[in-house]
């Protein structure tokens, strides 16, 4: 709720304080890079220490504090600092949280568990923007106060995180020395199936820019601020409704089938967004985009956790996130540049075409996952 109260109005707010499309792309790319690289480091630390809860608690705390910071000053350096702190908090908690989820599941229920997590997480992404929409209805364009109000659910997240208790499932190695990029050594020792999967995911990442660009395209098509937030809420509602049942279905028919279907859906959405100027078509595409997210985000983590050892779960997810962060930084920056130089149509078409090609790679070269995490 705290993060998603702000996400749909973030690009609008940044443009009102003077950020260009290119600068927004760079900001989002650097913020995601910070989150991704820190996921690898703190995922490794969580695995080595055998603890999950402290990382989750600290991560939520930093993200909560960053929210009001963006309303205090509008200097670009300060905005970069606040946005980066928010993503850094996400980086600290993500690996430990996903490992905790994995520990609570069996290989046969990973899709269900991670799908349920995505449904609940995204339910917050429905409630948050609804609150933002309600506030902006009564106080149009009062973005700064909204950033201050987002602190409240952030504090509730911190408080609830202290209900989490660690349940060690393996013998930790607290004496192991950890450097910031030491998680990269996992790549050398990781299973072949992990490497094949991550390569495909990373190619897709290079053309999967921030959702901010979808919202900007909707705004460019003539939608009001309220309508932009509305389609974003709609997308998250679809995501929340479908993530859990698609996770259950993935456990039955295979994680790969659901994931590939999601990639194809992404391609359809981005090619469609390249040419859409009508509210109804944009709404339909955001519906399909919700299906794509439900079929890929939780499923990819379930897949990674199933092909990695229990003692390496946070490291495996964090290592992928570290590589992914570099791809995300390049993707958002590249999309901002292509949009600026050649227009939105070229930016969306290139992403859609690559997604379909990556789906072909998964179909032809990636075997169905076999668990080594019992």
Arithmetic mean of pLDDT, 11-22: 78
Of 24, 40, 89, 88, the residue nearest 317 (C-alpha)? 40
Of the chain, the percentage scoring pLDDT greater than 70 comes to: 95
Arithmetic mean of pLDDT, 293-301: 92
Binned at pLDDT 50, 70 and 90, residue 243 comes out as very high
109 pLDDT above the threshold of 60:
yes
In this prediction, residue 192 carries a pLDDT of 87
374 pLDDT above the threshold of 50:
no
User: What tens digit of pLDDT does each residue of 130-143 get?
Assistant: 888 888 888 887 88
Q: Is 280 exposed, middle or buried (0-12, 13-18, 19+ CB in 10 A)?
A: exposed
Residue 217 and residue 340 in contact, taking contact as beta carbons nearer than 8 Å:
no
User: What tens digit of pLDDT does each residue of 39-88 get?
Assistant: 888 988 888 888 889 999 999 999 998 888 877 877 778 888 888 888 88
Binned at pLDDT 50, 70 and 90, residue 286 comes out as very high
**7-161+181-365 placed in CATH 1.20.210.10:** no
372 pLDDT above the threshold of 70:
no
30 pLDDT above the threshold of 80:
no
Q: HEC states along 103-116? A: HCCCHHHHHHHHHH
In this prediction, residue 293 carries a pLDDT of 94
Residue 82 and residue 69 in contact, taking contact as beta carbons nearer than 8 Å:
yes
In this prediction, residue 352 carries a pLDDT of 92
Q: How far apart are CA 32 and CA 205, in angstroms?
A: 12
User: What tens digit of pLDDT does each residue of 312-330 get?
Assistant: 888 898 888 888 877 877 8
Q: What is the DSSP string of 177-227?
A: ---TTGGGGHHHHS-HHHHHHHHHHHHHHTT---THHHHHHHHHTT--HHH
265 pLDDT above the threshold of 90:
yes
Crossing angle of helices 212-220 and 313-342, rounded to 10°: 30
The mean pLDDT of the chain is 85
């Amino acid at each position: 709720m705290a993060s998603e109260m702000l996400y749909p109005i973030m690009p609008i707010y940044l443009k009102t304080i003077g950020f260009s499309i290119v600068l927004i792309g760079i900001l989002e790319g650097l913020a995601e890079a910070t989150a991704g690289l820190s996921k690898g480091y703190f995922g490794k630390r969580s695995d080595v220490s055998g603890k999950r809860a402290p990382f989750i608690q600290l991560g939520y705390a930093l993200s909560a504090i960053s929210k009001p910071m963006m309303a205090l000053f509008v200097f670009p350096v300060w905005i970069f600092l606040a946005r980066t702190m928010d993503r850094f908090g996400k980086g600290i908690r993500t690996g430990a949280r996903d490992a905790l989820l994995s520990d609570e599941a069996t290989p046969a229920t990973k899709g269900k568990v991670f799908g349920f997590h995505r449904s609940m997480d995204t339910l917050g992404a429905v409630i948050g923007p609804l609150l933002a929409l309600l506030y902006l209805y009564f106080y149009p364009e009062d973005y700064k106060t909204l950033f201050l109000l987002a602190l409240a659910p952030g504090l509730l997240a911190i408080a609830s995180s202290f209900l989490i208790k660690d349940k060690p499932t393996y013998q930790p190695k607290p004496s192991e020395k950890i450097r910031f990029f030491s998680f990269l050594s996992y790549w050398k020792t990781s299973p072949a199936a992990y490497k094949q999967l991550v390569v495909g995911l990373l190619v897709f990442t290079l053309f999967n820019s921030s959702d901010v660009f979808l919202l900007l395209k909707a705004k460019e098509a003539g939608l009001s601020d309220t309508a932009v937030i509305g389609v974003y809420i709609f997308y998250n509602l679809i995501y929340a409704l479908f993530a859990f049942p698609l996770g259950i279905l993935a456990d039955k028919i295979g994680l790969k089938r659901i994931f590939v279907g999601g990639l194809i859906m992404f391609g359809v959405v981005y090619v469609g967004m390249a040419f859409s100027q009508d509210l109804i078509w944009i709404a339909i595409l955001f519906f399909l985009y919700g299906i794509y997210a439900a079929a890929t985000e939780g499923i990819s983590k379930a897949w990674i956790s199933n092909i990695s050892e229990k003692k390496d779960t946070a490291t495996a997810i964090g290592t992928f996130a570290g590589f992914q962060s570099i791809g995300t930084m390049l993707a958002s920056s590249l999309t901002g540049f292509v949009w600026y130089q050649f227009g939105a149509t070229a930016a969306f078409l290139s992403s859609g075409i690559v997604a379909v090609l990556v789906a072909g790679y998964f179909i032809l070269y990636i075997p169905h996952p076999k668990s080594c995490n019992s």
